[in-house]
Amino acid sequence: MASDFRREITGYSNPTVKYLRGLRDKKNRRREGKFLVEGLRLLTDARETGRLPEMLVMATGRDPHPLLDELERAVIDGGGEVIETSADILSKITGKDNPQAVAGMFAEFDTSLDSLDRTAGSIWMVAQALRDPGNLGTMLRTCDAVGAGGLILVDDCADPFSVEAVRASMGAVFTQQIAQAGWGDFLVWLRAGPGQLVAASLRDAVPYRGAPYEAPCFLLVGNESRGLPEGYEDACDLRVTMPMRGRADSLNAAVAAAVLAYEVLDALES
């Protein structure tokens, strides 16, 4: 590797270190339009889907790996920057005690509704005011598994570009379409084309097994504590209910979305 393209950073107070650390905060990610991805596996997933980091940060003393060499070459060929630093400084950047040996900084994607191609999948997930980035990442992972089009984040949701969400998505943040919008704008967009809006609900609902699902099917899941606002449920084309045999009246949001999505997948394919 030609050393011209590499930079070594040894100080904690280096401005690049501070900048990268800052990307752990949503506010800074929003302002800069950048986010961090940790680990060779996720970075390789990204590369395979055509996404390269603008900056690659590698820890000195890391184990060599052919995929890491390929990644480094691709970043340099793509005009990106490669930085070597200590494992300690990398740990400061990612905020993890046992950091991966490599991290990358990516430009955030366009998450406007206009960027979506609704023909990309016959299942979509729609999360409303979902607060847990882990749930959000898990939903993206399930979206990938059922061959969905993507995930639409309605109202004030967790940030899909947070380290936790990216990690839980297992790379699906790079393969699934993602949009963020207010409820009103989402409805206008939805009704401008084909699409059935389905909510898991306890009132005026039919059993989720065997319900009349239609593609493209948009599965709406509400906030972890409060569920969906009543008006949002009313706007749905179909309300379905899932068996609750115990004391609780709800499932984890990512779990509910997955059970529904697999039912819809079976219904649409059979």
CB 134 to a copy of itself: min, Å: 7
Q: SS3 helix, strand, coil % of the chain, rounded to 5? A: 40, 20, 40
Identify residues 229-248 at the interface with a copy of itself (CB under 8 A). 242-248
- Binding of a copy of itself at residue 52 (CB under 8 A)? no
End-to-end CA distance of the chain: 53
Nearer to a copy of itself, 231 or 246 (CB): 246
Residue 83 interacts with a copy of itself (CB under 8 A): yes or no: no
Rounded to the nearest angstrom, the gap between the alpha carbon of residue 65 and the centroid of all alpha carbons in its chain is 26
The enclosing H or E element of 248 equals none
**In the numeric block, which tokens belong to residue 66?**
């052919």
The first and second tokens of residue 148, run together, are 């969905």
Q: Check residue 113 for interaction with a copy of itself (CB under 8 A).
A: no
Distance, CA of 255 to CA of 270 (rounded, Å): 23
Alpha-carbon gap, residue 228 to 198, rounded angstroms: 12
How is residue 79 written in tokens? 């005009």
The least distance separating a copy of itself from the CB of residue 192, rounded to whole angstroms, comes to 26
20 vs 32: CA distance, rounded Å:
10
How many whole angstroms separate alpha carbon 98 and alpha carbon 48? 26
In the list 175, 177, 180, 196, the residue contacting a copy of itself (rule: CB under 8 A) is: 175
Q: Among 138, 162, 196, 201, which residue sits at the site for a copy of itself (rule: CB under 8 A)?
A: 138
- At 130, the amino acid letter reads L
Residues of this chain, 183-222, that bind a copy of itself according to CB under 8 A? 209
Instruction: Pick between residue 104 and residue 149 the one whose CB is nearest to a copy of itself.
Output: 149
Nearer to a copy of itself, 34 or 239 (CB): 239
Options 74, 87, 170, 205; binder of a copy of itself; rule CB under 8 A: 170
Radius of gyration of the chain (CA): 21
- The region of 20-28, 58-66, 108-116, 255-263 touching a copy of itself under the rule CB under 8 A is 255-263
| 252 near a copy of itself, rule: CB under 8 A | yes
Question: Applying CB under 8 A, which residues contact a copy of itself?
Answer: 45, 48-49, 134, 138, 141-147, 168, 170-172, 175, 209, 242-248, 251-252, 254-255, 258-259, 262-263, 265-266
